[in-house]
Structure 1
Amino acid sequence: MEFYPMPLFVKLSVSNVEKSLCWYKEVLNFDSVFELPDKGGKIMMAHIRGKKYQDIILVAESAHDDINANGKGIVLNFSVDDVDLYSKKASKASAVVVEGPIDRSWNARELVLRDLDGYLITVSMGIDKEKDFNDVINQVESKL
């Protein structure tokens, strides 16, 4: 596992780090970079990674965290090579599928999932790899 400075990362407050760790591994192919147990051996923090620079820190929610606020207005987006493969993994793991897989007008195929604590996760891949940015913008504008 490569170690590098992370210029930006997401920290998610979760109700059960072990269960969330399993969900991210099983559904999204994340690997554990580092896990920090408390004095009793229960994992209280886990640094996980999908592809390079797709880092998430899972932290055990504290007593003052409001579980109902988790995920409100936040959608994590991860680029993947094959959305349909993730759709099959999500189905096999009984993950909550919010939408998709669906082809978007902005040249992306996406699957939107909800994790165990209510965070929205979008896995996304480009549909036509030959299109450049201007081609995609023109395509979107033509549908407006």
Structure 2
Amino acid sequence: MEFYLMPLFVKMFVSNMEISLSWYKDVLNFQSVFELPDKDGETVMAHIRGKKYQDIMLVSKQSDREFNGEDVILNLPVDDIDKFVIRAAKTGAEVKEKPVDRPWNARELVLKDPDGYVITLSMIIDKGKAFDDVIDGAR
């Protein structure tokens, strides 16, 4: 696994680290970079990665404070949406929106993780399309 300074990453509070880690690995094919255990050996922080620069830090929720995962939407570029549709079906992941072609030259699948965080997987439809043509099409 390559180690680099992360130019940006998201920290997400999770209610159950084991369930969340499993979901990101099984549904989105993320890998664990580093897991920090507490004094009892339970993971309280996990740095996970999809593709290069798709780094997320999962942090165990330490209190009963309420949080709303829907207030955050993560957008991850992928090469093949259909692979993730199959993975979501196999794992029983919640599909918030089935794959749809957007006017901005993207095919997108929207999922919800176990804590309610919304994950949009986005694939370019026409890689040869010029940026100006994409913008004109989106208008």
TM-score class normalised by the smaller sequence: over 0.9
TM-score normalised according to structure 2 size: 0.97
Q: For 1:138 and 1:79, how far apart are their aligned partners in 2?
A: 21
2:115 paired residue number: 117
What do the CA deviations read for 1:39-94 (whole angstroms, capped 9, x no partner)? Answer: 1111111000000000000000011531xx23232100000000111011001100
When the two chains are superposed, the root-mean-square deviation of aligned CA atoms in Å is 0.9
Q: 1 CA distance for matches of 2:97 and 2:70? A: 17
Letter in 1 for 2:21: L
Other-structure match for 1:128: 126
Q: Is 1:44 matched with 2:35?
A: no
Contact kept, 8 Å, 1:17 with 1:59, in 2: the verdict is: yes
Output the TM-score relative to the length of structure 1. 0.93
What CA distance in whole angstroms lies between the structure 1 residues aligned with 2:5 and 2:68?
Answer: 26
What is the aligned-residue identity percentage? 62
User: In 1, distance between residues paired with 2:64 and 2:94?
Assistant: 27
Map 1:1-144 onto structure 2 (within 5 A).
1-66=1-66, 69-141=67-139
CA contact (8 A) 1:13 1:70 kept: no
Post-superposition offset of 1:132: 1.7
- Can you give the 5+ residue segments of structure 1 that lack an aligned partner in the other structure? none
Following the alignment from structure 1 to structure 2, what is the Cα–Cα distance between the partners of residues 32 and 113?
A: 20
Compute the displacement of 1:19 (Å): 1.1
Residue identity opposite 2:48 in structure 1: I
Report the Cα distance in structure 1 between the residues aligned to 2:122 and 2:12, rounded to whole angstroms.
Answer: 20
Q: CA deviation at 1:118?
A: 0.3
Amino acid of the structure 2 residue aligned with 1:73: D
